[in-house]
Chains A and B, each alone.
Chain A
Amino acid sequence: MSAASSPAATSPRGVRSRIGAFSDRHRSTSVFFGVGLAAMALPLIVLLPPFNSFSGQGVWMDGFTIAGIFILLALGLNIVVGMSGLLDLGYAAFFAIGAYTYALAASPFTGIEISFWPMLLIGAVMAAVFGIMLGAPTLRLRGDYLAIVTLGFGEIVPITILNLSRYTEGPNGIGGITAPSIGDFRFPTTGNPWPYYLVMLGLIIVSMMLIYRLQDSRLGRSWMAVREDELAAAANGINTVTTKLLAFALGASTAGLAGVFLAAKLQTVTPNLFRFDVSFTVLAMVVLGGMGNIWGVAVGAFIIFMIQSVLLKQLNIFFDNVDVPILSDIDFLQYQFLLYGIALVGMMLLRPEGLFPSQRRKRELHTEEDADFGEHGDPMGASPE
């Protein structure tokens, strides 16, 4: 970073390192402009071929808004898995808690009408409380054992919602959830996709900035220490109990936020929106994007969501049209999880640090000398250390 003051700044290399130094020092600014630019470009790109032939701009932007929900989820899970090294396989539970919190607070089912905006905060807090409830009894667990308990938690929540029909309408779900409004302007559910799109954009920018700040904070450093070696972390004066609870709480609150938004966007929630495949998909996004790297995880989530919601569908349509034998008989959407599985296995073999690795993970996975990492290995237990 010393290059920022060097006289070589006129050469392209110097300029690049100056930009690098700037974005290191002002990550919040680069998040703001980076995400903002992408969000402005996307609605324009889809007006160009070949994208305009798939569907209209409105449908595309609806898709991007849902993709944003998954970006939020991946950002939150990255706090737990990537930054703190706590493998959580039941993350969808917090998503469900956020969604049902809003559903109960703004639907004819309960007759309560609380505005969307404070509910964003309340949903996040609610999920954080459940995050601590899950975190507290599992403090002594790590790796595989923690994964099993979180997997169980992820199953318990939707099953509970399913069976508490009196409070949740059971399998029918809660419908007629109120759309957000600003003053007299109520967000349109069809037609104009911009209001939801812009709100989601705001949520992503704010979350990413906050998470970057957290990563550079004392708390971020203690997450890293706990991930690397919990005993050494405690011996260095880090309170491992609050460190881990805060990881669960903050990770969960991001999912809660995403949940409130989902309920407001779909205006209906059912238990089967929050099954294990959501937890798994989000985990795949974090791993494929590059655990620990905030930008990488966000981009990874976007790419995977687009592959799943657009590419596979388009492949179906494409092969149906050109009428290639065999290929046109395949329903690519049905092979979604097979493809994830293959992608994950391939990833672990070829590029275990993810598509967009964090500097540290790159360092740790590509060393000439194989260091002894002790029993506290990678939280995924899958990388070839």
Chain B
Amino acid sequence: MTAERMIGDVVLELRDVQTYYGKIHALQGITAEVRAGEIVTLIGSNGAGKTTTLKTISGLLHPRSGSVHFEGRDVSRTSAHRLVRDGISHAPEGRRIFSRLTVLENLQMGGYTQSSKDVAANIEHVFELFPRLQERSGQKGGTLSGGEQQMLAIGRALMTRPKVLLLDEPSLGLSPILIQQIFGIIREINAQGTTILLVEQNASQALDVADRGYVLQTGRVILSDDAKVLAANDDVRRAYLGEI
């Protein structure tokens, strides 16, 4: 399946990124890159720094040292709302949908930076991807099931037609069938040309869908390789794929 996909130049590059929460040294030098058209995954246990890495890329946090480059430009100090316009979209951990707003209003909010004509077209596009959301478009976000909320979170992030989509634990709290479905959609979004950086605890699924992977531990990259190679690595299998 990867044969016909075009993998281009590096769009996203992290160079020795160090991020702190106050005094806590969360990222202790992350170096990684994502090429256009790829699906790259960050795997690792709780507290490894996966979510922090995504937040640092999307501008919700800023690195204390090191730098983040997007399309060759240093964006380490750029704020989140600007990066959305530039083409980085972040579906944050825990979905964070607007639970008091309807599905449609959530999507409209996702298109905040877009012209109203583009918003209408992009809502069409999201509804094609997630027919379920169209059925529920008048329903309040908070009353959706977990899977539907995740669809809404991804759909909302797609409203800006991003170049790079950052997905934080899209499988969290979902049933195995729904996880399959979500990963199928992630493949589809990628096949339509969106570069994806995926953070997952569900390492086997993530490595299955991704081209390459980075293994994080206590704020450092301890291993990086093709996803297939990582999935076959004994240490990875033991630590993250639940094999003894």
Q: Is the CB of A374 within 8 A of B109?
A: no
Contacts of A236 in B (CB 8 A): 84, 109-110, 112-113, 156, 159
Taking the complex as formed, is A309 at the interface, i.e. its CB lies under 8 A from any CB of chain B?
no
User: Per-residue CB proximity of B78-122 to A under 8 Å, as 1/0?
Assistant: 011100110001111010111111000000111011000000000
Taking the complex as formed, is A37 at the interface, i.e. its CB lies under 8 A from any CB of chain B?
no
Taking the complex as formed, is B58 at the interface, i.e. its CB lies under 8 A from any CB of chain A?
yes
Q: Give the complex CA separation of A356 and B189 in angstroms.
A: 44
Contacts of A233 in B (CB 8 A): 109
Q: Give the complex CA separation of A237 and B97 in angstroms.
A: 14
Q: Give the complex CA separation of A266 and B227 in angstroms.
A: 76
Contacts of B90 in A (CB 8 A): 235
Q: Give the complex CA separation of A1 and B91 in angstroms.
A: 33
Q: Is the CB of A237 within 8 A of B113?
A: yes
In the complex formed, the residue of A with least CB distance to B98 is A228
Task: Scan residues 202-252 of chain A and give those whose CB is less than 8 A from a CB of chain B.
Answer: 218, 221-222, 224-225, 228-229, 231-241
Q: Is the CB of B80 within 8 A of A371?
A: no
Q: Give the complex CA separation of A240 and B94 in angstroms.
A: 20
Q: Is the CB of A235 within 8 A of B60?
A: yes
Taking the complex as formed, is B17 at the interface, i.e. its CB lies under 8 A from any CB of chain A?
no
Taking the complex as formed, is A24 at the interface, i.e. its CB lies under 8 A from any CB of chain B?
no
Contacts of A228 in B (CB 8 A): 98-101
Taking the complex as formed, is A184 at the interface, i.e. its CB lies under 8 A from any CB of chain B?
no
Q: Give the complex CA separation of A240 and B85 in angstroms.
A: 15
Taking the complex as formed, is B142 at the interface, i.e. its CB lies under 8 A from any CB of chain A?
yes
Among the listed B81, B94, B100, B157, which residue makes an inter-chain contact with A238, where contact means beta carbons less than 8 Å apart?
Answer: B81
Q: Is the CB of A229 within 8 A of B112?
A: no
In the complex formed, the residue of A with least CB distance to B111 is A236
Q: Is the CB of A232 within 8 A of B81?
A: no
User: Per-residue CB proximity of B120-149 to A under 8 Å, as 1/0?
Assistant: 000000000000000000001111000000
Please give the number of chain A residues whose Cβ is less than 8 angstroms from any Cβ of chain B in the complex.
27
Contacts of A367 in B (CB 8 A): 140, 142-143
Q: Give the complex CA separation of A228 and B159 in angstroms.
A: 19
Q: A228-B98, A228-B101, A374-B99 are in contact. Are A235 and B157 (CB under 8 A)?
A: yes
Q: Is the CB of A221 within 8 A of B112?
A: yes
Q: Is the CB of A237 within 8 A of B84?
A: yes
Q: A228-B99, A232-B92, A373-B99 are in contact. Are A237 and B112 (CB under 8 A)?
A: yes
Taking the complex as formed, is A363 at the interface, i.e. its CB lies under 8 A from any CB of chain B?
yes
Contacts of A225 in B (CB 8 A): 98, 109, 112
Q: Give the complex CA separation of A29 and B185 in angstroms.
A: 47
Q: Give the complex CA separation of A222 and B98 in angstroms.
A: 12
Q: Give the complex CA separation of A372 and B141 in angstroms.
A: 10
Contacts of B108 in A (CB 8 A): 221
Among the listed B84, B91, B100, B110, which residue makes an inter-chain contact with A364, where contact means beta carbons less than 8 Å apart?
Answer: B100
Q: A234-B80, A367-B140, A371-B142 are in contact. Are A221 and B109 (CB under 8 A)?
A: yes
Contacts of B142 in A (CB 8 A): 367, 369, 371-373
Q: Is the CB of A232 within 8 A of B143?
A: no
Q: Give the complex CA separation of A231 and B51 in angstroms.
A: 13
In the complex formed, the residue of A with least CB distance to B144 is A371
13 of the cross-chain contacts (CB-CB < 8 Å) are: A228-B101, A232-B96, A233-B109, A234-B79, A234-B80, A235-B80, A235-B157, A236-B113, A237-B81, A239-B81, A371-B141, A372-B142, A374-B96
Which residues of chain B have a CB within 8 Å of any CB of chain A?
58, 60, 79-81, 84-85, 89-92, 94, 96-101, 108-110, 112-113, 140-143, 156-157, 159-160
